[in-house]
Structure 1
Amino acid sequence: MDSVLGIADILLPVAIVGVIAVFVVVRMIQKTNKGTLGKKKTKEAQNVLDSLIPLGMIFGAAAAVFLGIFFPASLLSNIGLGAGIGLLCGYFAYEIHSRKGGSHS
């Protein structure tokens, strides 16, 4: 029974992050095929839009390391989960920011 829980502790974060990554990649492929990827008028605004997903992953991993100091879990699992959750948050920020109009878009 103990080995089953150990295996679950290892595979659950990998499965969660895998599902998140597949979701984001499939959604981005669908947006590319439809031609509805976010496009901004200025190069600076486009750079901000394009950097939201990687920045989400960086901040997610950093937050996971910080939380890993206080909670007893594997640091590697924390970093993986943090990056996966950051990927999802970065994708949602990308969606929100790409839909916003205004003078900078």
Structure 2
Amino acid sequence: MESLAEIMRIVFPLIIVGAISIFVILRLQNKHKKNQLGKKKTQGAQFLLDSLIPWGTFLGIFIGGIISFLFPMSMLNTVSIGGGIGMLVGYFAYEIYSRTEGSSSS
């Protein structure tokens, strides 16, 4: 019974992060097919829009690492879950920022 709990403790973060990644990739792929990806008028604003998902992932990994130092949790679990949650937050920030005023929607 302990081995099953250990396996679930290892596999559970992978399932969560995998589901988040598949969700984000499929949503972006669907928006790309419909030609509805966010477009901004200036190059700087477009760069910010395009970098929201990677920065969200990076910050999630960073926060997960800090949490693993502060609390008695496995660093591998907190970093991987933090990266997945950061990717999801970055995607939602992308969605919100791509709809703000100044975007040229076609």
TM-score (norm 1): 0.95
What is the alpha-carbon distance in structure 2 between the residues aligned to residue 11 and residue 90 of structure 1? 24
Query: How many equivalent pairs are there?
Result: 104
Report the RMSD for the aligned CA atoms in angstroms. Answer: 1.2
Residue of structure 1 in register with 2:75 after alignment? 75
Residue of structure 2 in register with 1:13 after alignment? 13
What is the alpha-carbon distance in structure 2 between the residues aligned to residue 96 and residue 25 of structure 1? 17
**Unmatched segments (≥5 aa) in structure 2:** none
Residue of structure 1 in register with 2:27 after alignment? 27
Q: Percent identity?
A: 48
Q: In the TM superposition, what is the alpha-carbon distance from 1:71 to its structure 2 partner?
A: 1.9
What is the alpha-carbon distance in structure 2 between the residues aligned to residue 64 and residue 86 of structure 1? 10
Q: In the TM superposition, what is the alpha-carbon distance from 1:16 to its structure 2 partner?
A: 0.1
Q: Which runs of 4+ in 1 moved over 6 A?
A: none
Greater Cα shift, 33-42 or 67-76: 67-76
TM-score (norm 2): 0.94
